[in-house]
Amino acid sequence: MAFTLYSLLQAALLCVNAIAVLHEERFLKNIGWATDQGIGGFGEEPGIKSQLMNLIRSVRTVMRVPLIIVNSIAIILLLLFG
C-alpha cells in the first residue's frame, strides 16, 4: 500500500484547494453556510455547524496567498517531474 507522506501532502493540498474555491455568494448562501448567516453571538455552545463555517471562512482568508505559492510550486514540479 503506497500511502506515502507525499501522497498525504498532495491530498492535503487538494482538500485545501477545494475549501478555497467555495464561493460565498453563489454557493454558500444557497445552503445557508455563509459567514453572515451563522454567527449567533457569544453564546455558550458554538455548535458543530458554526465551527465548520468558522473553519471554512478562516481557511479561505488565511490560505489564499500561501495557496497561490504552493500551487505554483506544485505545477512546476509536476511539469518537470511528471
Partner 1 sequence: MHPAGLAAAGTPRQPSKRRVPVSQPGMADPHQLFDDTSSAQSRGYGAQRAPGGLGYPTASASPQSAFLGDPVSNMAMAYGSSLAAQGKELVDKNIDRFIPVTKLKYYFAVDTMYVGKKLGLLFFPYLHQDWEVQYQQDTPVAPRFDVNAPDLYIPAMAFITYVLVAGLALGTQDRFSPDLLGLQASSALAWLTLEVLAILLSLYLVTVNTDLTTIDLVAFLGYKYVGMIGGVLMGLLFGKIGYYLVLGWCCVSIFVFMVSWGSGKDGTRGTGLLGRVGGPWRHPSRGCQVGSLDQRPHTGELRSPGVAALA
Which positions touch partner 1 (CB under 8 A)?
Answer: 1-5, 7-8, 42, 44-48, 51-52, 54-55
Angstrom distance (rounded) from CA 64 to CA 68: 7
Angstrom distance (rounded) from CA 67 to CA 48: 26
Nearer to partner 1, 4 or 82 (CB): 4
- What minimum distance in Å lies between the beta carbon of 36 and partner 1? 19
Angstrom distance (rounded) from CA 69 to CA 16: 13
Nearer to partner 1, 4 or 79 (CB): 4
The residue assigned the cell 506544485 is: 74
Nearer to partner 1, 3 or 81 (CB): 3
